[in-house]
Amino acid sequence: MLVKEAITHGKVSLGNTKMPGSTFAICAFACITGGKLAKVKGSVCEQCNMRRLQKIRPCVDQGYKKNLFKWQVSNSSNWIAAMVFQIKRYAVDGYHRWFDSGDLQ
């Protein structure tokens, strides 16, 4: 698989400098459990940094929404192969974090 082919299913990132390894992020406004918790006063999700980041950085917002959309329209075995390919390629220190933005769909 080539990188350009893999990222058509969603992009694994090395851009989160707060943690080692690679990450995979989706739109925080699509969080299923987080969307419920965002309405609960005092919860972590009520003060979600990723939702705030999406509001102030349009390019981040677009990237997270693209990852969500690509997952939704991908054939699941192609999506898995694309994620495995990217994680193996980028997570050279052995770390990968799912959903540094977003939650389990």
Could you tell me if 93 and 23 are in contact, meaning their C-beta atoms sit under 8 angstroms apart? Answer: no
Length of the chain: 105
**Distance (Å, rounded) from C-alpha 52 to C-alpha 49?**
5
Site string for ligand SF4, 7-46 (x = CB under 6 A): ---------------------x--x--x--xx-----xx-
Q: How far apart are CA 15 and CA 57, in angstroms?
A: 14
Q: Does position 63 bind ligand SF4 by CB under 6 A?
A: no
Query: In whole angstroms, how close is the CB of 101 to ligand SF4 at the nearest point?
Result: 5
What are the residues binding ligand SF4 (CB under 6 A)? Answer: 28, 31, 34, 37-38, 44-45, 48, 50-51, 101-103
